[in-house]
Structure 1
Amino acid sequence: MNTDMDKGAQVLKLLGDRTRLTMMKILESQDCCVCEFTAIFNLSQPAVSQHIRKLKDARLVTETRRGQWVFYSLNKDTEDYPLVRDILNHFPGQAGRLKELEQQGLRIFCD
């Protein structure tokens, strides 16, 4: 029982950060690479990588290499996914953030 509470507390702590919560909401609808997150959040690559590393260490996101790029996606196979899904359901979609970048000519394509 304590282990479940500890895991739940860890997930809540990770998603208690606005940037990580927003990243997870974006990943709910599409895979992204670090370069896209740097543009969306106007953060440095090391800062974005730090956020991603925390989510990856907790197995909330997975990575896939496509050529020279690494794309991140929501890990729907983890035992924590039902909790993550329930939390994300309480927040508005973020798919428009990449669309905004595209419209401003700031979208970075990693393909």
Structure 2
Amino acid sequence: MSTPVDEMSDVFKLLGDKTRLTIISLLKGQSELCVCEIVDYLQTTQPNVSQHLRKLKSAGLVSEKRKGQWIYYTLTLEDKPYLQGVLEHLPSLKQETACCNVTDRQK
């Protein structure tokens, strides 16, 4: 039986990874992002990003929505109020994604 402390510990371990924390920061500044946009920003491979997103989705931190051939991700942290303080201190990468044309893609 999992306790709230166990869940929090698992989530904080998950966010201890720089790539996953960066993905959360990217999503914080956007309503949704496509995997391809995250790949462009992180300058890594699509399988690598997809694996990180799978872990974030499994922990209930992001949700996905399919639009045609693309999958878009959004933050889903409403049931994790203990992360609100963390989010407040995460830098918004909205400006950085704009300079990489992430927000200008056709959806």
Alignment of 1:1-111 (within 5 A): 3-30=3-30, 31-77=32-78, 79-80=79-80, 82-102=81-101, 109-111=105-107
**Root mean square deviation, CA, Å:** 1.8
CA drift at 1:109: 2.3
Q: Confirm or deny: 8 A CA contact 1:33 1:72 kept in the other structure.
A: yes
Aligned length: 105
TM-score by length of 1: 0.85
- Percent of matched pairs sharing the same residue: 40
Matched residue type, 1:19: T
* CA deviation string 1:26-82 (max 9, x = no partner): 1122111110111101110000001000000001100111122110000134x22x1
CA distance in 1, matches of 2:10, 2:82: 11
Matched residue type, 1:39: D
CA gap of 1:83–1:36, structure 2 versus 1, over 3 A, is: same
Unaligned runs of 5+ in 2: none
Structure 1: which 4+ aligned runs deviate by more than 4 Å? Answer: none
Matched residue type, 1:97: E
Matched residue type, 1:8: M
Unaligned runs of 5+ in 1: none
CA distance in 1, matches of 2:5, 2:25: 23
